[in-house]
Amino acid sequence: MSPERYSKIRSILQKRQTTLTVCMEQVHKSHNVSAVVRSCDAVGVHKVHAVWDDKTERLRGGTAMGSQNWVYMDTHDSIGDAVSHLKQQDMQVLVTHLSDTAVDFREIDYTKPTAIILGQEKHGATEQAIELADTDIVIPMVGMVQSLNVSVAAALVLYEAQRQRDMAGMYDVQHLDEAACQKMLFEGGYPIFRDLCDRKNLPYPQIDEDGQIVADEQWWQALRAK
């Protein structure tokens, strides 16, 4: 890894937001999933969540997908499990849903730990998701159509969150710990070696300030072994 790439990755990791995320509930079209993840990467989201009935959907893209694998994805067996996990992290859980009590998405305080549930493309969020969420949010619309594409809606809400967090200086403080940074430095800087480590069950090595791997000869021998 070149010093320039190391510096670029470090700069990205310094701005990652561990207290902002989305949860895709049955969003099944791959181009929508990829577009949502790209928007998450663009605003510095570190990890996204998903609930899929079809187990094969969980395997697409492995543990990370979109934007060169810079955003991790956790999958959950049910929306109940997902929301429980998010609330254990003291996150306010929002759901995009038009209701009598829904509030304009711009009125939310996104400087708080926040998770945004995005419902399935055709039917939107499930009744269970709506019941479990803390607040319904809506994107005001004055045209004939009543809803936006899920990835477009995600981008609008995420960029409002980014605006508020930027104004609050939250991108000036590093949220990720060094262990998480080291993991992503290796995965992003040495993708071929990462694949070898995963296949051979080898621990990831440390990355020094020049972007170079720090490992003993035994690790290198294990990596090279057939």
Residue 55's pLDDT band, with cuts at 50, 70 and 90, is low
Q: pLDDT tens-digit profile of 89-133?
A: 999 999 998 788 889 999 999 999 999 999 887 788 889 989 999
Q: What is the mean pLDDT of residues 30-54?
A: 90
Q: What is the reported pLDDT for 71?
A: 92
Sheet holding 135-138, edge to edge: 72-76, 47-51, 20-25, 114-118, 92-96, 135-138, 103-104
CATH class of the domain whose range is 17-167? alpha beta
Residue 29's pLDDT band, with cuts at 50, 70 and 90, is confident
Q: What is the mean pLDDT of residues 75-98?
A: 93
Per the annotation, does 148 bind a ligand?
Answer: yes
**Cβ-proximal residues to 156 (8 Å cutoff; 6+ apart), any chain:** 105, 139, 148
Per the annotation, does 56 bind a ligand?
Answer: no
Q: Where is pLDDT greater, at 138 or 141? A: 138
Q: What is the mean pLDDT of residues 146-167?
A: 92
Give the domain ranges of the chain: 1-16+174-226, 17-167
**What is the overall mean pLDDT for the chain?**
89
62 has a pLDDT exceeding 50:
no
Write down the H helix ranges in 47-205: 79-88, 127-132, 150-167, 178-189, 191-200
Per the annotation, does 158 bind a ligand?
Answer: no
The angle, 0 to 180 degrees and rounded to 10, between the axes of the packed helices 191-200 and 217-224 is 80
Strands (E), 97-157: 103-104, 114-118, 135-138
Q: pLDDT tens-digit profile of 9-19?
A: 999 999 999 99
